[in-house]
């Protein structure tokens, strides 16, 4: 703003300077033009008059003849003839040395003044006068105003004065001569005698008489080099004029051309006034605009400041209101909706517990629970349903937890729990799981809606995740958010090392029993091919979980889970039973049957019930034992080798072949297993896949095959996917192969087709 | 400058001129005859107008007639008195002035004009004091100390009549009544001065003002007349008394007994006819005591 203002002012200043400068230049130009015009004019008039006066000298020459011989009529006639054709001179008279008139071109009235002057001229030696002429007395009356007498001294051949020639100059001639000169209104041309007497005054209107008298005192400074006199009065009217003075160098007169300053500068002054007015107006416009803009900006600024102030006030009020509300809520000890503790009360109680916790060695944890999709339920089904859901969750939490645990709702769907006095840290996981399980149970008929909601739980443990409630709650909150954003974790420890399990595991675990009952597990089969005949010599049964929500789940996901949770026995039994049932079904269908191998977990080898169950099932479906085989991993033998050996011997005794799966990945050696009733070893897929690239792997495979054959075992290669692998294995003496090269594990209907074909050629 | 050339030419002519031989004392019978006239507007143009009459006269009287171009009213006066001019058309005042100095000239003709805007039909005209029609000057007194245009010191309506007759109205000389006097040299220049505002008033001839209006120089509504003089006889045509009677008779005859031959001149003069007059008709002018 200040910059724009100074810029505008600078521009104004520049405009003013420029205008004043150009006005000054203009004025100088006008004056110079006038001077130059006046100079030309005075030179022209002066030259005209000079030529005229020069002409008088011609008459003077004839006059001397007449003075010598007064009766010379020829000369008289010649003179009158000259006069008759001369437009400038009207009359001619010649006087002798005594002042006696000896010739007159026309009769005239006697003029005493004139005669006086003639007498004077004769007395004075007018040779002193440069041109030899002087002006006669200027006529005083209007009627003679145009008749200017000129007196020329006439000399004889001896250069002595013999008389005086009087020529009367007709001013009308001069007037006509100069009538077309461009003159301005107040321009005046003065013809002035050397003694200061004005001879004639001409203006644009003509020859003037009786005007303001001439004052010559002001022009005495003028000379031939500087003929100009400025801004001085020339007449008695005292009007200031611009004057040019030109003195004749041949005759005793001067020409003065002058013009009123006011007139000379009139149009210039009008233009000047216009320009100044314009610039003044412009200046005012700029200044007023600047002031207006300044005012507007100031007003806007003020309004803006007021707005900002009111905004601040408003925000303060809102914050205050919010605080008040919070305070009111906090004041209450229990939540109006769920009856759980409020934030305030919870903080108070929990803090008290923590004081105790520092004195004992028990474990404490803060759990933050947030209900997934709660907001969506609340928005779509209404607050009423949301409230009911919150109440349900609160009730379930209360039922799940001990009396000593502190349960609170912090508002919305945010529940916070302090678990108190736990003996083991690992108990926290159990509680967390239990909370997730309980809360995740379907809520039936909540205002005629059946809902299921999953919680996200964040856990912070005292004292490792925080020494006070503020830190614990903050960290539990953070952990909760991590839960919320992870795909498959329903509870998260703030300490990341505790986060081992996930929600899928949990849910699968939850549903294992029902899944078996509901027939969600199915068996897929992969054929084993004899390398000498390319006949299908066996099948491996592989369990799949056809989960209604998660789709087809592979064993590497749920088998470890089943082993951990103890469901593996249940599942293993189902596989045995299902396999027998399947073989029986094929048999009944007249399909050529081959032995079916089932995988046995280490846990199944812990009790003797496996062997019994196997025979029980075979019997149940009336199958020979050779149609069932078991496969076990090296790791399953590690825990209790003696028990396993006993159980395996029992199984082997019943005629069921035993295969060692994933051979090469464990720590066992062939020596270690030679005391076990193992009929077949299956070389792990990791060796097979590298057979063509890794020399080591190839050697291992070849030597393993050789050793196994030495021990009387058959060798099966797993994971055969290419013909190159097949060629190598065959060359190495491998007995059977299994893998995608021939067939991936397929369900019942597909394996039937293969069994019917009996042979799978590469 | 053409004027300068003209001057030089004139000077040259002075020396080569055929100088007329002096006549017997009894009567003057010059050959060629010299004629001049009073300046009105453009003297060259005026000379061409008179040429038709003079050509006719040359044939009638069998000798050349040369025109002396006038520069002012004095040209004719001095020319007649110095016998350089034999006959001339003059202004009435110029005639009176010349007659006053020497009675060797006499008037023999003037012309009658038709009715005009400011002029009356007949042999008389008036001196008019005019102001611009849209000026604030409504009577004579309002012009006190204002600038006035006169024509030529020897003009009757443009100087002499105002000086004598107008001064009787105001009781003081023109120089004292008016604030300034400007001789413009011609009637139309005077009128133009008033229109241009160079002067506030002008004394002009009613006849010549009409003529300028007819020529389109002015509009008939441009001026207001504040004063009108007594009738003045129109421009006199005079000759020298000394001219031989037969010559005078021949000249008069051309003026009064010609028809078609002088019609162009009359038309240019805006005149109807030439009328014979004598000094009695110019009594009003001749009687003016303050002619000088």
Confidence of residue B17 (pLDDT cuts 50, 70, 90): very low
List, by residue range, all CATH 3.40.190.10 domains of chain B. 31-113+234-286, 124-232
Count Cβ atoms below 10 Å from residue A715 Cβ, excluding itself.
24
Q: What's the mean pLDDT in A428-439?
A: 87
Give the span between the Cα atoms of A27 and A267, in whole angstroms. Answer: 11
The answer, yes or no, to whether residue A211 has pLDDT greater than 80, is: no
**Residues in contact with A253: Cβ distance below 8 Å, sequence separation at least 6, in sequence order:** A49, A135, A191, A192, A193, A194, A199, A247
Is there a domain that residue A327 lies in? no
Q: What is the pLDDT of residue A172?
A: 80
Nearest neighbour of B74 by CB, restricted to A81, A90, A109: A90
Q: What is the pLDDT of residue A700?
A: 84
Residues A92 and A234 in one domain: yes
Contact map slice: A 463-502 vs B, CB within 8 A? none
User: What pLDDT digit, counting tens, does each position of B69-90 carry?
Assistant: 888 888 888 889 888 899 999 9
Q: What's the mean pLDDT in A348-354?
A: 86
> Beta A680-683 vs A714-717: how paired, if at all?
parallel
CATH of domain B31-113+234-286: 3.40.190.10
Lowest mean pLDDT among A640-644, A660-664, B195-199, B224-228: A640-644
Cβ pair A172:B4 closer than 8 A? no
Task: Give DSSP secondary structure letters for A551-605.
Answer: EEE-HHHHHHHHHHHTTHHHHHHHHHHHHHHHHHHHHHTT-----EEEEE-GGGG
Q: Is ipTM over 0.85?
A: no
Confidence of residue B136 (pLDDT cuts 50, 70, 90): very high
Is there a domain that residue A291 lies in? no
Task: Give DSSP secondary structure letters for B97-132.
Answer: HHHHH-TTEEEEEEEEB---SSPPSBSEE-EEEEEE
Residues A341 and A487 in one domain: yes
Q: What is the pLDDT of residue A669?
A: 65
> CATH number of the domain that A341 lies in?
3.30.70.270
Cβ pair B180:A147 closer than 8 A? no
Nearest neighbour of B81 by CB, restricted to A81, A107, A211: A107
Give the span between the Cα atoms of B172 and B150, in whole angstroms. Answer: 17
Is there a domain that residue A316 lies in? no
Q: What's the mean pLDDT in B130-151?
A: 92
Q: What's the mean pLDDT in B60-73?
A: 88
Q: What angle do CA A517, A746, A605 make, to 5 degrees?
A: 55
Q: What's the mean pLDDT in A93-119?
A: 77
Cβ pair A205:B97 closer than 8 A? no
User: What pLDDT digit, counting tens, does each position of B147-192 carry?
Assistant: 999 988 878 888 888 988 898 888 888 888 998 889 888 898 999 9
- Select the highest-mean-pLDDT range: A143-147, A324-328, A658-662, B4-8: A658-662
CATH of domain B124-232: 3.40.190.10
B3 interfacial to chain A (CB closer than 8 Å)? yes
User: What pLDDT digit, counting tens, does each position of B28-47 carry?
Assistant: 889 899 999 988 778 888 89
Is there a domain that residue A484 lies in? yes
**Residues in contact with B205: Cβ distance below 8 Å, sequence separation at least 6, in sequence order:** B125, B126, B127, B128, B155, B156, B157, B158, B187
The answer, yes or no, to whether residue A533 has pLDDT greater than 50, is: yes
Count Cβ atoms below 10 Å from residue B194 Cβ, excluding itself.
26
Q: What's the mean pLDDT in A606-624?
A: 88
Crossing angle for the helix pair A609-621 and A641-653, nearest 10 degrees? 20
Residues A483 and A596 in one domain: no
Last residue of a domain, one of A435, A465, A499: A499
Confidence of residue A1 (pLDDT cuts 50, 70, 90): low
CA A171 to chain centre: 91
Is there a domain that residue A292 lies in? no
Cβ pair A84:B34 closer than 8 A? yes
Q: Which of A51, A91, A172 should we substitute to test contact with B (largest number of B Cβ atoms within 10 Å)? A: A172
Question: Which residue of B lies nearest to A212 if distances are taken between CA atoms?
Answer: B180
Confidence of residue A210 (pLDDT cuts 50, 70, 90): confident
Q: A185 to chain B: which residues are within 8 Å by CB? A: 197-198
Question: Which residue of A lies nearest to B80 if distances are taken between CA atoms?
Answer: A106
Q: What is the pLDDT of residue A129?
A: 57
What does pTM read for this prediction?
Answer: 0.51
Q: What is the pLDDT of residue B4?
A: 43
> CATH number of the domain that A731 lies in?
3.20.20.450
Is there a domain that residue A762 lies in? no
Q: Which of A104, A250, A74 shows the shortest CA–CA distance to A168? A: A104
Residues A652 and A690 in one domain: yes
Instruction: Kindly list the distances between the CA atom of residue A699 and the CA atoms of A81, A716, A728, A732, in Å, as whole numbers in the listed order.
Output: 163, 16, 11, 10
Residues A490 and A518 in one domain: no
The backbone region for B185, taken as left when phi is positive above 0, alpha when psi lies in -120 to 50, beta otherwise, is left
Q: What is the pLDDT of residue B8?
A: 44
Is there a domain that residue A5 lies in? no
Instruction: Kindly list the distances between the CA atom of residue B202 and the CA atoms of A27, A195, B38, B54, B223, in Å, as whole numbers in the listed order.
Output: 36, 33, 19, 33, 10
Nearest neighbour of A207 by CB, restricted to B69, B85, B183: B183
User: What pLDDT digit, counting tens, does each position of A488-528 carry?
Assistant: 667 888 876 565 545 455 566 667 778 888 888 899 999 99
Q: How many CB pairs under 8 A join A and B?
A: 163
Q: What is the pLDDT of residue B103?
A: 84
Q: What is the pLDDT of residue A52?
A: 87
CA distance B26 to chain A (A): 17
Q: What's the mean pLDDT in B19-35?
A: 70
Cβ pair B74:A142 closer than 8 A? no
Last residue of a domain, one of A207, A234, A264: A264
Question: Which residue of A lies nearest to B76 if distances are taken between CA atoms?
Answer: A90
Q: What is the pLDDT of residue A132?
A: 76
> CATH number of the domain that A68 lies in?
3.30.450.20
Residues A440 and A374 in one domain: yes
Q: What is the pLDDT of residue A560?
A: 73
Q: What is the pLDDT of residue B275?
A: 92
B206 interfacial to chain A (CB closer than 8 Å)? no
Residues A238 and A365 in one domain: no
A180 interfacial to chain B (CB closer than 8 Å)? no
Residues A121 and A253 in one domain: yes
Contact map slice: A 36-95 vs B, CB within 8 A? 51, 55, 58, 73-74, 77-78, 80-88, 90-91
Number of domains chain A contains: 3
Q: What is the pLDDT of residue A506?
A: 58
Q: What is the pLDDT of residue B248?
A: 92
Q: What is the pLDDT of residue B24?
A: 44
B69 interfacial to chain A (CB closer than 8 Å)? yes
Q: B196 to chain A: which residues are within 8 Å by CB? A: 204
Confidence of residue B7 (pLDDT cuts 50, 70, 90): very low
* Residue A703 lies in domain: 508-757
Residues A465 and A604 in one domain: no
Is there a domain that residue A554 lies in? yes
Q: What is the pLDDT of residue B23?
A: 40
Q: B80 to chain A: which residues are within 8 Å by CB? A: 106
Residues A488 and A519 in one domain: no
Contact predicate A189/A206, CB 8 Å: no
CA distance B229 to chain A (A): 19
Residues A529 and A494 in one domain: no
Residues above pLDDT 70, as percent of chain A: 93
User: What pLDDT digit, counting tens, does each position of B82-127 carry?
Assistant: 888 999 999 888 888 888 888 889 999 999 988 888 888 889 999 9
Residues A424 and A526 in one domain: no
Q: What is the pLDDT of residue A597?
A: 94
Nearest neighbour of A173 by CB, restricted to B17, B22, B72: B72
B5 interfacial to chain A (CB closer than 8 Å)? no
Which has more pLDDT, A349 or A157? A349
Last residue of a domain, one of A211, A242, A264: A264
Q: A211 to chain B: which residues are within 8 Å by CB? A: 179-180
Q: What backbone torsions phi and psi does residue A709 show, to the nearest 5 degrees?
A: -60, -40
Alpha helices in A332-366 (DSSP H): 343-357
The answer, yes or no, to whether residue A561 has pLDDT greater than 90, is: no
Contact map slice: A 108-147 vs B, CB within 8 A? 108-109, 141-147
């Amino acid at each position: 703003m200040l910059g724009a203002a100074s810029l505008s002012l600078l521009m104004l200043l520049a405009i003013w300077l420029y205008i004043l400068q150009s006005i000054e230049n203009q004025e100088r130009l006008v004056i110079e033009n006038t001077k130059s015009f006046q100079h030309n004019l005075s030179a022209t008039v002066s030259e005209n008059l000079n030529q005229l006066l020069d002409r008088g000298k011609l008459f003077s020459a004839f006059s001397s003849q007449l003075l010598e011989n007064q009766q010379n009529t020829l000369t008289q006639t010649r003179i009158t003839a000259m006069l008759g054709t001369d437009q400038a001179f009207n009359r001619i008279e010649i006087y002798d040395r005594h002042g006696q008139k000896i010739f007159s071109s026309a009769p005239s009235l006697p003029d005493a003044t004139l005669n006086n002057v003639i007498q004077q001229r004769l007395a004075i030696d007018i040779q002193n006068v440069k041109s030899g002429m002087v002006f006669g007395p200027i006529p005083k009356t209007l009627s003679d105003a145009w008749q200017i007498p000129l007196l020329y001294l006439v000399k004889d051949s001896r250069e002595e004065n013999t008389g005086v020639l009087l020529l009367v100059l007709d001013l009308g001639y001069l007037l006509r001569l100069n009538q077309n000169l461009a003159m301005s209104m107040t321009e005046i041309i003065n013809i002035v005698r050397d003694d200061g007497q004005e001879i004639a005054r001409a203006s644009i209107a003509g020859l003037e008489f009786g005007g303001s008298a001439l004052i010559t005192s002001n022009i005495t400074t003028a000379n031939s080099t500087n003929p100009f006199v400025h801004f001085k009065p020339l007449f008695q009217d005292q009007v200031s004029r611009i004057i040019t003075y030109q003195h004749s160098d041949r005759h005793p007169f001067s020409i003065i051309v002058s013009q009123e300053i006011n007139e000379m500068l009139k149009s210039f002054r009008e233009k000047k006034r216009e320009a100044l007015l314009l610039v003044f107006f412009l200046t005012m416009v700029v200044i007023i605009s600047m002031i207006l803009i300044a005012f507007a900006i100031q007003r806007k600024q003020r309004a803006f400041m007021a707005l900002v102030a009111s905004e601040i006030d408003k925000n303060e009020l809102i914050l205050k209101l919010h605080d008040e509300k919070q305070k009111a809520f906090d004041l209450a000890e229990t939540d109006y909706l769920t009856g759980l503790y409020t934030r305030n009360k919870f903080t108070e109680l929990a803090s008290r517990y923590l004081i105790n916790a520092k004195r004992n060695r028990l474990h404490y944890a803060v759990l933050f629970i947030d209900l997934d999709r709660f907001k969506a339920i609340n928005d779509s089904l209404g607050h009423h349903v949301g409230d009911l859901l919150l109440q349900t969750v609160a009730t379930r939490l209360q039922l799940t937890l001990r009396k000593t645990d502190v349960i609170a709702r912090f508002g919305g769907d945010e529940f916070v729990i302090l678990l108190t006095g736990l003996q083991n840290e690992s108990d926290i996981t159990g509680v967390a799981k239990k909370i997730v399980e309980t809360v995740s149970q379907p809520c039936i008929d909540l205002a005629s809606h059946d809902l299921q909601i999953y919680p996200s739980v964040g856990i912070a443990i005292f004292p490792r995740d925080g020494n006070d409630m503020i830190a614990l709650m903050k960290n539990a909150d953070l952990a909760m958010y991590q839960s919320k954003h992870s795909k498959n974790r329903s509870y998260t420890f703030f300490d990341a090392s505790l986060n081992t399990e996930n929600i899928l595991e949990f849910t699968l675990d939850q549903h294992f029993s029902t899944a078996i009952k509901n027939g969600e597990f199915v068996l897929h089969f992969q054929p084993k091919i004899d390398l000498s005949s390319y006949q299908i010599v066996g099948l491996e049964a592989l369990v799949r979980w056809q989960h209604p929500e998660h789709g087809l789940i592979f064993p590497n996901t749920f088998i470890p889970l089943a082993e951990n949770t103890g469901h593996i026995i249940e599942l293993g039994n189902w596989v045995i039973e299902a396999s027998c049932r399947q073989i029986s079904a094929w048999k009944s269908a007249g399909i050529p049957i081959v032995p079916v191998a089932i995988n046995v977990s280490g846990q199944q080898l812990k009790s003797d019930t496996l062997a019994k169950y196997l025979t029980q099932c075979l019997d149940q479906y009336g199958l020979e034992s050779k149609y069932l085989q078991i496969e076990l991993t090296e790791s399953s033998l590690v825990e209790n080798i003696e028990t396993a050996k006993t159980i395996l011997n029992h199984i082997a005794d019943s005629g069921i072949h035993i295969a060692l799966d994933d051979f090469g990945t464990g720590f066992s050696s062939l020596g270690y297993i030679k005391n076990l009733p193992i009929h077949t070893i299956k070389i792990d897929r990791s060796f097979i896949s590298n057979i063509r690239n890794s020399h080591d792997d190839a050697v291992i495979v070849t030597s393993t095959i050789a050793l196994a054959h030495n021990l009387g075992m058959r060798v099966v290669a797993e994971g055969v996917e290419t013909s190159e692998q097949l060629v190598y294995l065959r060359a190495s003496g491998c007995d059977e192969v299994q893998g995608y090269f021939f067939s991936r594990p397929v369900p019942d209907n597909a394996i039937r087709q293969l069994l019917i074909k009996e042979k799978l050629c590469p | 400058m053409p004027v300068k050339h003209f001057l030089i030419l004139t000077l040259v002519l002075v020396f080569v001129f055929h100088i007329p031989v002096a006549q017997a004392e009894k009567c003057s019978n010059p050959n060629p005859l010299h004629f001049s006239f009073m300046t009105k507007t453009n003297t060259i143009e005026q000379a061409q107008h008179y040429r038709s009459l003079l050509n006719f006269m040359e044939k009638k009287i069998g000798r050349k007639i040369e025109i002396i171009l006038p520069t002012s009213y004095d040209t004719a006066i001095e020319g007649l008195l110095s016998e350089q001019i034999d006959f001339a058309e003059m202004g009435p005042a110029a005639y009176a002035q010349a007659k006053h100095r020497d009675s060797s000239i006499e008037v023999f003709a003037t012309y009658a004009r038709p009715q005009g805007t400011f002029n009356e039909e007949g042999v008389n005209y008036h001196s008019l004091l005019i102001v611009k029609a849209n000026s604030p000057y409504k009577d004579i007194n309002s012009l006190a100390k204002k600038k006035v245009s006169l024509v030529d010191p020897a003009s009757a309506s443009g100087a002499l009549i105002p000086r004598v007759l107008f001064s009787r109205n105001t009781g003081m000389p023109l120089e004292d009544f008016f604030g300034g006097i400007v001789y413009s040299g011609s009637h139309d220049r005077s009128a133009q001065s008033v229109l241009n505002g160079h002067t506030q008033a002008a004394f002009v001839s009613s006849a010549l003002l009409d003529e300028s209006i007819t020529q389109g120089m002015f509009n008939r509504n441009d001026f207001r007349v504040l004063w009108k003089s007594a009738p003045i006889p129109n421009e006199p045509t005079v000759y020298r008394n000394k001219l031989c009677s037969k010559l005078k008779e021949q000249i008069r005859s051309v003026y009064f007994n010609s028809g078609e031959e002088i019609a162009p001149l009359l038309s240019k003069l805006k005149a109807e006819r030439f009328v014979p007059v004598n000094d009695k008709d110019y009594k009003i002018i001749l009687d003016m005591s303050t002619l000088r």
